[in-house]
């Protein structure tokens, strides 16, 4: 029977679930589907580490937000100076709006597949409607409905996993860190990790905990919140989809390159309804992911400029609108949205080591964290997150310049 403290935590948790909802988006779905169908179980270790390191990174971000009482950009300016604050702000804003453009590309692409009307101009009404929803706050019920759609699709993947022929020896082989050859391998490794350890969601979480009003006494709650959302919920999401791709699609020789290929993984369970169900879930995942991305971009800009969100709500809404309209250019990018999503995550991962290094520095300074400095275990997990993230990002960069 749950303790009183456990029940209290369940009622009060929340900020990390916003981050988990973003992480459980279309880019992660696509990345693990492609990796599993192409390489079988070879990237299982990356999928598992992405959940562990994602929970670690988000808890570290929560600690900075709580202990500093401010967002990561202004905290960096206060502790490290304007130069590093500008570098971090540019890094975060560029990564965030690249993500927004690719997500809008995906949203428009899925809409075209579902309606039969493919046009990049879908991005304009989407940008305006999402901005209106964010500014007025009147579409929360709709976003929750989208998340329920995603949960249903994930449940289908979980059921399919239990129906699949998964052998322990195959799982064990996937737990041994290996790097399959080729440029595609470097991309997939970076994309899978980038789904959970991404500068946008790490930075955004420092603002989430402050918006919730969490203080030092809430650090245990923040740990519980992150472990359950990123460690468990995100872990189950990515692992279930990956195992279906590795155990159902890979043995059949199906290499996922478009939505119709990924939907085949649900074929054994849903039959002819697999494609429609998959598209509906992908659409819901994209819509519920792109909205917080617009908010994150506005948070970073406001924090760097020292503007007050409560006093300057019209300006905040204007920044959201500008970001949304910028994302509306995404559908005009060359290339199918399905293959652009992993590239977006890999690019975001390349900007992530900087924010991780800054956070680790802050949390180990007595004048910043005081008695709440990182423990040995938390530092170990944090350093491992930084090292593995850096290695995967470096492999992706080296592959792109032809040195891998």
User: Tell me: the pLDDT tens digits for 131-148?
Assistant: 998 888 755 665 566 667
Output the pLDDT for position 148: 74
| Residue 13 pLDDT greater than 60, yes or no | no
Chain-wide mean pLDDT for the chain? 90
How many angstroms separate the CA atoms of 141 and 251, rounded? 40
| Per-residue pLDDT reduced to its tens digit, 62-103 | 999 999 999 999 999 999 999 999 999 999 999 999 999 999
Residues contacting 363, CB < 8 A, separation 6+? 60, 63, 64, 67, 369, 373, 374, 378, 382
Residue in the structure block whose two tokens are 């390349």: 350
Q: How far apart are CA 110 and CA 59, in angstroms?
A: 33
Q: What is the structure's pLDDT at 358? A: 98
Residue 44 has pLDDT above 50, yes or no: yes
Q: How confident is the model at residue 259 (pLDDT cuts 50, 70, 90)?
A: confident
What is the mean predicted confidence (pLDDT) over 159-172? 86
Length of the chain: 404
pLDDT for res 154 = 84
Cα–chain center distance at 210 = 20
**Environment class of 158 (CB within 10 Å of its CB; exposed 0-12, middle 13-18, buried 19+):** middle
Looking at residue 342, what is its pLDDT? 96
Q: Is the pLDDT of residue 290 over 80?
A: yes
CA dist., res. 92 & res. 297, Å (int): 8
Domain boundaries, the chain: 4-400
Confidence of residue 401 (pLDDT cuts 50, 70, 90): confident
Cβ count within 10 A of residue 401: 7
Dihedral in degrees, nearest 10, Cα atoms 348, 349, 350, 352? 100
In this prediction, residues 312-325 reach a mean pLDDT of: 94
4-400 folds as Amino acid/polyamine transporter I (1.20.1740)
Rounded to 10°, the helix 44-68/72-80 angle is 70
**For residue 137, how many C-alpha atoms fall within 13 Å in the half-sphere facing its CB?**
1
Centre a 10 Å sphere on the Cβ of residue 115 and count the other Cβ atoms it contains. 10
Q: Is the pLDDT of residue 1 over 50?
A: no
- The alpha helices in 306-375, defined as continuous H runs, are 313-327, 337-350, 352-362, 366-369
Among 284-298, 331-345, 375-389, the range of highest mean pLDDT: 375-389
Mean pLDDT of 53-62: 97
Q: Please tell me which residue, 109 or 151, carries the higher pLDDT value.
A: 109
Task: List b or e across 196-207, with b for residues whose CB sees 16 or more CB atoms inside 10 angstroms.
Answer: bbbbbbbbbbbb
* Total-model pTM: 0.93
Q: Tell me what percent of the residues of the chain surpass a pLDDT of 70.
A: 94
**HSE value, Cβ hemisphere, 13 Å, CA-based, for 30:** 30
pLDDT (0 to 100) of residue 101: 97
Q: Which two tokens stand for residue 142?
A: 């709709």
Report the pLDDT averaged over residues 294-302.
95
Q: Within a 10 A sphere around the Cβ of 383, how many other Cβ atoms?
A: 15
């Amino acid at each position: 029977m749950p303790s009183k403290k456990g029940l209290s935590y369940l009622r009060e948790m929340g900020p990390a679930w916003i981050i988990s909802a973003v992480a459980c988006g279309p880019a992660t779905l696509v990345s693990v589907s492609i990796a599993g169908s192409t390489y079988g179980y070879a990237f299982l270790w990356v999928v598992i580490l992405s959940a562990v390191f994602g929970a670690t990174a988000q808890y570290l971000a929560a600690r900075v937000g709580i202990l500093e009482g401010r967002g990561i950009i202004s905290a960096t300016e206060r502790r490290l100076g304007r130069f590093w604050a500008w570098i971090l702000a540019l890094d975060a804003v560029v990564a965030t709006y690249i993500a927004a453009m690719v997500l809008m590309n995906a949203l428009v692409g899925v809409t075209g597949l579902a309606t039969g009307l493919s046009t990049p101009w879908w991005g304009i009404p989407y940008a305006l409607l999402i901005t209106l929803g964010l500014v007025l706050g009147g579409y929360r019920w709709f976003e929750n409905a989208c998340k329920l759609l995603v949960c249903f699709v994930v449940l289908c993947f979980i059921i399919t996993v239990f129906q699949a022929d998964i052998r322990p020896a195959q799982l064990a082989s996937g737990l041994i860190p290996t790097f399959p050859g080729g440029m595609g391998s470097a991309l997939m490794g970076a994309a899978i990790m980038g789904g959970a350890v991404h500068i946008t969601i790490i930075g955004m979480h420092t603002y989430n905990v402050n918006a919730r009003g969490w203080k030092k006494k809430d650090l245990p709650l923040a740990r519980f919140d992150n472990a359950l959302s990123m460690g468990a919920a995100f872990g189950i999401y990515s692992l279930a989809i990956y195992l279906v791709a590795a155990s159902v699609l890979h043995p059949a020789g199906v290499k996922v390159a478009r939505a119709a290929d990924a939907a085949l993984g649900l074929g054994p369970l849903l039959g002819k309804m697999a494609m429609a169900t998959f598209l509906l879930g992908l659409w819901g995942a994209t819509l519920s992911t792109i909205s917080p991305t617009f908010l994150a971009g506005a948070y970073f800009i406001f924090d760097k400029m020292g503007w007050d969100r409560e006093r300057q709500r019209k300006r905040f809404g204007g920044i959201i609108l500008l970001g949304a309209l910028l994302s509306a250019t995404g559908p005009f990018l060359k290339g199918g949205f399905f293959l652009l999503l992993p590239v977006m995550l890999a690019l975001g991962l390349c900007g992530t080591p900087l924010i991780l290094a800054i956070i680790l520095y802050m949390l180990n300074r007595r004048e910043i964290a005081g008695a709440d400095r990182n423990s040995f275990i938390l530092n170990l997990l944090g350093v491992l997150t930084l090292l593995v993230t850096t290695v995967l990002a470096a492999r992706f960069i080296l592959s792109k310049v032809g040195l891998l």
